[in-house]
Amino acid sequence: MNLSLDRREAERLVETYSDLILRLSYTYLKHTEDAQDICQTVFLRLLEKPRTFAGPEHEKAWIIRTTVNACKDLLKSHWHKTTVDLDAASAVPAPQEEEGSLLAAVNLLPPKYRTVIYLYYYEGYRAKEIAQLLGESPATVSTRLSRGRAQLRTQLESEGMA
């Protein structure tokens, strides 16, 4: 197909189905931004791999089924399960550190140790997950955890806390 035909077909699809996809996605996801992402996903799937439909009802059925599946995929995704809205996150207060507390001692560590110690003990991530988050090798994260613990132990012993 030539470019002008692709553009006309894309415009027709958007004009015909964008409201349907957005409304249906919103009923699943309850977030406008997620519904807009699903809308783009459905159109991209259709345009990247053009299909031949038996008629308008077949086309509409494919759009609905693809929309529903994309919504279900998003709801099952690790990203969706482990993230929250920025508004919800702003309502959660940062942990308050008391002088002489363990968190205060952790915050005195160098950043490379502080980060892995915090993610491991306070956020509950495993070393392999921390490595993925930070773009480091699991061995590097394990080494930093070990060295961070040693520095923390030394620091706490000098303060008489350990």
- What pLDDT is attached to residue 50? 77
E strands, the chain, where?
A: none
Q: Is the model's pLDDT at 161 over the cut of 80?
A: no
Distance CA 34, CA 25 (A): 8
pLDDT tens, position by position, 97-135: 555 577 788 888 888 898 888 888 888 889 998 888 888
DSSP letter string, 62-76: HHHHHHHHHHHHHHH
Helix axes 32-48, 3-29, angle to 10 degrees: 140
Q: Identify the pLDDT of residue 122.
A: 81
Give tens-digit pLDDT for 140-155. 999 999 999 999 999 8
Where residue 4 falls among pLDDT bands split at 50, 70, 90?
very low
Rounded distance, CA 18 to CA 43, Å? 9
pLDDT in tens, 25-53: 988 888 889 999 999 999 888 888 878 88
